[in-house]
Structure 1
Amino acid sequence: MKKLLLVCMLFAISVVSLQANTREEAELVKCVDGDTTHLKVGNEVLKVRYLAIDTPEYTKEKEPYGKEASECVCKLLSEADKIELEYDDGSEKTDKYGRTLAWVYADDRLVQMELVQQGLAEVKYIYGDYAYTDDLQKAQKAAQADKLNIWSNQSYEEKGAKEKAMLGIGGGVLLIVAGLLFAKNKSQRKRMIKKGMRKISQNSKKH
């Protein structure tokens, strides 16, 4: 009997560990864009930010494929018989803006995966050990190889490159300022300024 109880307990623990992420049903309230939707859970309306992806803007700024990403999400959710949110144990439940972070399902289809597979979303903002990151990254590589939508030209990738270049330029400026204000001697000041100028020059060419 004791052995049987032990086996049952171990089985129960294994099931719980496999189903650690919490799911709850939701209703569509408002489509916003490709990675944000207003959903009602119980009596509460949540502004849900889709975990682990980023889609082109289609609210204040109209970016290429932003419309397609928004329409894809809205179609999936509006036609679904059941919408569910899954909260990842590896993530905070809300972001710094108070938006709910979750995996979103439309009739058991993971919306994040649908977007990434169609080349309408980039895998991004990975701040923890999320459940489906590896699968999303594999899907993204396939979409990139097939040059689907955001990966069909260089514009989306160039945007990321420009952001990195601007950060590099900012780092160069900081080095120069630090050299002028905090260098211990003339030699160190010259080295820091020279390094900062080189960094600015290198990233200006990329930009």
Structure 2
Amino acid sequence: MKLKDIKTLITSGTVLVALALYMIFGDKPPEKVEDTQSSVLIPLEQAEQITGNTPLAVDYVSANDGDTISVNMNGEKKRVRLLMIDTPEMNYDKGDPMPFAEDAKEFTINLLENAESVQLLFDKGPETDHYDRLLAYIYIDGMMLQEALLKEGYAAVRYVNKPNNSLEQQLRDIQADAEQQDINIWSYDNYFQKDGFHPEAVNK
């Protein structure tokens, strides 16, 4: 065998060994990141079918707290109160914010400021409350804001009034998961009770 052929074999063998070692010990290809939409528990299409309503596109303006925002709808600024959930109060005129109030507000703002689409979906009952706020589900890029807040333990199911409660059970199921995991507001016993939030349970 010629010297040239031996060198070729050695070179080829080295490449093959290196390739084999890389396949065994090298970095694995990154796993496919799960599509965010696959984790949505209350898809917009399902909410449309259950409520019998069509979502309305709006533009986000600002957030008062975790569960109350302002939007621009048809050229008019409107306040929206998220249906069936309650986040801790900011207490603008009453002193310090309740525990997790600022977290809930920041969470809501971050989602809305980075959204490509914001949609408002009414339920089967009144579209406004006695403060003239719109009562609705808010969908941000296909995920319901109520769902997101409940998942993160920043909100509790409250102010449930028929017939504006078509998605009540779904929201309660999401809350139950956060409670079981002791996430945020649920990390303190008796912080949230039937009559609302009790900061003394956190600050004691």
Shorter-chain TM range is 0.5 to 0.7
For 1:29, the aligned partner's letter is V
For 1:105, the aligned partner's letter is Y
Gapped regions of structure 2 (runs ≥ 5): 1-47, 199-204
The verdict on how the C-alpha distance between 1:123 and 1:153 changes in structure 2, with shifts beyond 3 A counting, is same
Q: Does residue 125 of structure 1 match 2:149?
A: no
Match of 1:114 in 2: 148
Q: Does residue 40 of structure 1 match 2:72?
A: yes
8 Å CA contact retained: 1:22, 1:88: no
Deviation of 1:87 (Å)? 0.6
Q: Specify which of 95, 101, 104 is matched with residue 66 of structure 1.
A: 101
The verdict on how the C-alpha distance between 1:161 and 1:102 changes in structure 2, with shifts beyond 3 A counting, is closer
Percent identity between the two aligned chains: 32
The verdict on how the C-alpha distance between 1:96 and 1:18 changes in structure 2, with shifts beyond 3 A counting, is closer
Deviation of 1:157 (Å)? 3.1
Deviation of 1:19 (Å)? 6.5
Match of 1:75 in 2: 110
Structure of greater Rg: 2
TM-score after normalising by structure 2: 0.67
For 2:106, the aligned partner's letter is E
Q: Deviations over 1:27-77 (max 9, x none)?
A: 011121100000001111110000000000114250000011001111111
Match of 1:100 in 2: 134
Deviation of 1:158 (Å)? 5.8
For 1:31, the aligned partner's letter is A
8 Å CA contact retained: 2:152, 2:184: yes
Alpha-carbon RMSD across the aligned residues, in angstroms, is 2.2
Q: Provide the rounded CA distance (Å) in 2 between the counterparts of 1:24 and 1:107.
A: 13
Q: Provide the rounded CA distance (Å) in 2 between the counterparts of 1:37 and 1:102.
A: 11
Q: Provide the rounded CA distance (Å) in 2 between the counterparts of 1:75 and 1:42.
A: 23
The verdict on how the C-alpha distance between 1:50 and 1:19 changes in structure 2, with shifts beyond 3 A counting, is closer
8 Å CA contact retained: 2:88, 2:197: no
For 1:101, the aligned partner's letter is L
**Matched positions, count:** 147
Match of 1:30 in 2: 62
Q: Specify which of 186, 193, 198 is matched with residue 151 of structure 1.
A: 186
Deviation of 1:22 (Å)? 2.8
TM-score after normalising by structure 1: 0.66
The verdict on how the C-alpha distance between 1:161 and 1:69 changes in structure 2, with shifts beyond 3 A counting, is closer
Q: Provide the rounded CA distance (Å) in 2 between the counterparts of 1:162 and 1:139.
A: 19
Q: Which has the higher helix share?
A: 1
Q: Provide the rounded CA distance (Å) in 1 between the counterparts of 2:149 and 2:196.
A: 22
Instruction: Answer with 148-157 or 77-86: which moved more.
Output: 148-157
For 1:23, the aligned partner's letter is P
Q: Provide the rounded CA distance (Å) in 2 between the counterparts of 1:162 and 1:85.
A: 27
8 Å CA contact retained: 1:32, 1:59: no
Q: Deviations over 1:146-203 (max 9, x none)?
A: 111001012513684898xxxxxxxxxxxxxxxxxxxxxxxxxxxxxxxxxxxxxxxx
